């Protein structure tokens, strides 16, 4: 009896120990995090997405996928149920995208904020989150259009590189080469002139300096000419006064002649004749100075020949011409 009692006690102990171990494992493996369920709505496919696939919010894992299925009301939509940590800041403007887990081909759900700077407004539990296509999805959708564009571009390139266009291009290249050779020859011809250019510039500077000196001398001559003109004006004024004096002297002489016309004294007549001759000389000198005022400075010029003098006939002939 005692052996049976010991066997029963040992069996009960092992059973209780096993139950305790199972309860401990269940305790440590159990997920006691509070979860909030949302539904991700996808109009396209969800390749590589499986149950228990991670859900990440801006790169931080906050939950997992707990269901995948078609929408009963619209079979073209796929509903992906996700369980997210209640503390995760899922806002009403959050959208979802599929991300790839390395090179395994498996996908995960990535939650992104539409506007990270906007005030946080949490999404209601059970709310639907739209899934937007990734860059690869957009490329796949636009692939036919891209291929059509590439085909059209290839056709245009083929038309551009036709035989006629290639021939014209070859001719243009040949002409360009000829123009480059002509330019080289022209540069070689211009090099001697370019080497002489500094000397020419130096000569031009010297010429400019001489021209400046000449201009200053011309200005000085102009100033002298203005002074000479003023002096001539003064001389002409003096001559005018002399002419007036001569006229007055002539009038006085005539008055004396009239006054002494009846005088027969031999001494008075020579005096009157001398006065008349002096008056005429002064008048003639005044007229000559009036005609040639420059004679005061440069002397009298040569008088033209009169009648009976040598050269008078040539002067008449020259005047008739």
Q: Is residue 166 part of a domain?
A: no
Residues 6 or more apart whose CB falls under 8 angstroms from that of 86 comprise 33, 34, 35, 36
Assess whether pLDDT exceeds 90 at residue 81.
yes
Average pLDDT over residues 133-141: 72
Last residue of a domain, one of 92, 116, 141: 141
Number of domains in the chain: 2
pTM given for the model: 0.40
Average pLDDT over residues 34-53: 88
Query: Three-state DSSP class for 229?
Result: helix
Lowest mean pLDDT across 24-28, 141-145, 177-181, 187-191: 24-28
Q: Is residue 163 part of a domain?
A: no
| DSSP-assigned letter for residue 234 | H
Q: Is residue 175 part of a domain?
A: no
Last residue of a domain, one of 114, 141, 168: 141
Q: Is residue 118 part of a domain?
A: yes
Query: Three-state DSSP class for 46?
Result: coil
Provide the pLDDT for residue 264.
44
Query: Three-state DSSP class for 13?
Result: helix
Residue 70 corresponds to which tokens in the numbers above?
Answer: 């078609």
Last residue of a domain, one of 121, 141, 161: 141
Q: What is the CA radius of gyration of the chain?
A: 65
Q: Residue 136's closest CA among 51, 77, 48?
A: 48
Average pLDDT over residues 168-189: 86
Q: Is residue 94 part of a domain?
A: yes
Provide the pLDDT for residue 321.
44
Q: Is residue 314 part of a domain?
A: no
Residue 150 corresponds to which tokens in the numbers above?
Answer: 């590439």
Residue 207 corresponds to which tokens in the numbers above?
Answer: 């010429």
What are φ and ψ of residue 84, in 5° steps?
-120, 145
Query: E strands, the chain, where?
Result: 35-42, 54-57, 60-70, 78-85, 94-100, 107-113, 128-130
Assess whether pLDDT exceeds 80 at residue 109.
yes
Average pLDDT, the chain: 75
Q: Is residue 202 part of a domain?
A: no
Q: In terms of residue numbers, what domain contains 272? A: 233-299
């Amino acid at each position: 009896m005692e052996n049976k009692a010991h066997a029963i006690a040992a069996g009960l102990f092992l059973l209780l120990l096993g139950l305790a171990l199972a309860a401990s494992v269940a305790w440590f493996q159990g997920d006691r995090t509070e979860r909030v369920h949302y539904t991700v709505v996808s109009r396209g496919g969800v390749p590589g997405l499986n149950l228990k696939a991670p859900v990440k919010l801006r790169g931080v894992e906050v939950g997992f996928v707990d269901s995948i299925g078609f929408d009963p009301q619209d079979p073209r939509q796929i509903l992906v149920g996700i369980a997210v940590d209640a503390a995760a800041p899922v806002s009403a403007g959050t959208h979802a995208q599929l991300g790839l887990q390395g090179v395994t081909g498996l996908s995960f759900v990535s939650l992104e904020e539409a506007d990270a700077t906007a005030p946080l407004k949490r999404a209601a539990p059970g709310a639907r989150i739209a899934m937007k296509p990734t860059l690869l999805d957009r490329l796949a959708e636009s692939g036919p259009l891209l291929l059509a564009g590439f085909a059209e571009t290839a056709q245009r390139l083929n038309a551009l590189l036709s035989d006629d266009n290639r021939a014209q291009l070859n001719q243009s290249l040949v002409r360009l080469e000829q123009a480059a050779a002509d330019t080289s020859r022209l540069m070689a011809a211009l090099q001697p002139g370019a080497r002489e250019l500094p000397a020419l510039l130096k000569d031009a500077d010297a010429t400019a300096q001489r021209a400046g000196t000449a201009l200053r001398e011309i200005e000085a001559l102009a100033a002298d000419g203005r002074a000479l003109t003023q002096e001539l004006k003064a001389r002409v004024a003096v001559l005018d006064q002399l002419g007036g004096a001569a006229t007055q002297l002539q009038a006085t002489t005539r008055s004396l002649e009239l006054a002494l016309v009846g005088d027969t004294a031999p001494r008075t007549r020579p005096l009157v004749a001398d006065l008349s001759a002096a008056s005429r000389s002064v008048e003639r000198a005044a007229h000559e100075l009036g005609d040639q005022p420059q004679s005061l400075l440069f002397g009298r010029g040569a008088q033209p020949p009169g009648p009976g003098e040598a050269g008078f006939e040539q002067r008449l002939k020259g005047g008739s011409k």
